[in-house]
Amino acid sequence: MDSRAVIEQILDFARWAPSGDNTQPWRFEIIAPNHVAVHGFDTRDHCVYDLDGHPSQIALGALIETAAIAASHHGLRTFARRRPDSPEHRPVFDLEFVADAGLAPDPLQAVVKTRSVQRRPMQTQPLSAAQKQALEAAIGADYAVDWLESTADRLKVAKMLFHSAKIRLTIPEAYRVHKDIIEWRAQFSEDRVPDQALGTDPMTTRLMQFVMQSWGRVETFNRFFAGTWAPRIQLDFIPGVACAAHFLLLAKTPARTIDDYVAAGRAIQRFWLTATQQGLQLQPEVTPLVFTRYAREKVAFSSKSGAQQMAQDLDERFTHAVGAHAAAHAVFMGRVGVGRQPTSRSLRRPLARLLSLEAK
Ligand SMILES: Cc1cc2nc3c(=O)[nH]c(=O)nc-3n(C[C@H](O)[C@H](O)[C@H](O)COP(=O)(O)O)c2cc1C
């Protein structure tokens, strides 16, 4: 295989890394046969969830890790460096691939393209000791996993998620994000999230599509028809109970900088791929981490009156559910369990488009 084909194959795997709302905050520039520049960006200017760009930075870490996994199958070790002079909201990473005869092909490559978020209920059958061990080993020495597994704990988290979802469904800032990223009447979506992957039943999905035509409709529906109840029960409460466990990935030293979040993203991708390899489904639960940080850092995030107070209340519930140590150290949260492979999912922009720096 010529070296251009090798590098394209590596990037073709890398683009399957997960990103918040499938934003794919990366474009690629092939500089030399063993050198790619990843032009990253974040969406903090218009996405209420992308607080300080951290979720996008996690996605960039997942991308770099996936590239390294794919490169190992060509006997190439990956060296990734962020250009210190690149702006934090548009970071550029240089990936260099260096031949290393001693490098073993990483078996996680086998599941890079099948790993997908599952937002529907999973079985409550507990994880086996071997599954937990594999997941804990996947993240390396700088991180630890906290498990919330008992029925009482899952119920506590489910209630907390139910409260978090109220914020998500009643602030105009989140409405604008959801309107942009949902592709309606779709099983697959290259650049967004298809409505069928959201986890609501078909009737609720149609109703959501109707209501989400305008913010005015959302407000009316919320006020007079308890509009947030059906989606919160279907998307947050039931799945919150119907899983084997919730997990928090904790950074031993709390993450602060872009490099901390990129490193966390690498660990998160190994965790998620290992879950897939173990036959498990996974769904991230990142929005409570975001809203509680807004509350703790007293950053105003919504024009809606009462939103800040809701976040404050959520922070109390969150700390009660996961404990103060986990609340301070968490870089990621989600649920896992045995379940069906999703039949609807996000796809990715074609590699040719990601290789064009001007393309959206
Ligand atoms: C940093 C990050 C945060 C995410 N947060 C959530 C979340 O809170 N809820 C959710 O259902 N999915 C979440 N996701 C999953 C993405 O929506 C999903 O990975 C993306 O749409 C691509 O779909 P795929 O994973 O099926 O390929 C998150 C993913 C990342 C990388």
What fold does the segment set 3-115 form as a domain?
NADH Oxidase (3.40.109)
Structure confidence at residue 222 (pLDDT)? 87
User: What is the architecture, at CATH level 2, of domain 129-345?
Assistant: 3-Layer(aba) Sandwich (3.40)
18 lines ligand 1 (CB under 6 A): yes
For ligand 1, is residue 55 a contact (CB within 6 Å)?
yes
Residue 72 confidence (pLDDT)? 98
Q: Is the CB of 43 under 6 A from ligand 1?
A: no
The alpha carbon of 334 and the centre of ligand 1 are apart by a number of angstroms equal to: 10
Query: How is residue 260 written in tokens?
Result: 């901390």
Mutate to test the pocket of ligand 1, among 13, 60, 117, 191 (most ligand atoms within 8 A of CB): 117
Cβ within 8 Å of residue 15, ≥6 positions away? 24, 26, 63, 348, 349, 351, 354
126 three-state secondary structure: coil
Radius of gyration (Cα) for the chain, nearest Å? 20
Can you give the pLDDT at residue 266? Answer: 98
Mutating to test ligand 1, I would choose from 47, 58, 276, 286 the residue with most ligand atoms within 8 A of its C-beta, which is: 286
List, for the chain, all residue ranges whose pLDDT scores fall below the cut of 50: none
Ligand 1 within 6 A of CB of 287: yes
Residue 119: per-residue pLDDT: 97
H/E element holding 85? none
pTM of the model: 0.98
pLDDT of residue 359: 60
pLDDT of residue 360: 60
Q: Is 199 in the pocket of ligand 1 (CB under 6 A)?
A: no
Fold match between domain 3-115 and domain 129-345: yes
Domain regions of the chain by residue span? 3-115, 129-345
Q: Could you give the residue ranges of the DSSP H alpha helices within 51-121?
A: 54-72
What does the pLDDT read at residue 356? 80
pLDDT digits (tens, 9 = 90+) for 88-108: 999 999 999 999 999 999 999
Give the CA distances from residue 33 to residues 3, 93, 169, 198, in Å, rounded to whole numbers and listed in that order: 5, 16, 47, 40
Category of 323 on φ-ψ map: left (φ > 0), alpha (ψ -120 to 50) or beta: left
Buried b (16+ CB within 10 A) or exposed e, 72-101: bbbbbebebebeeebeebebbbbbbbeeee
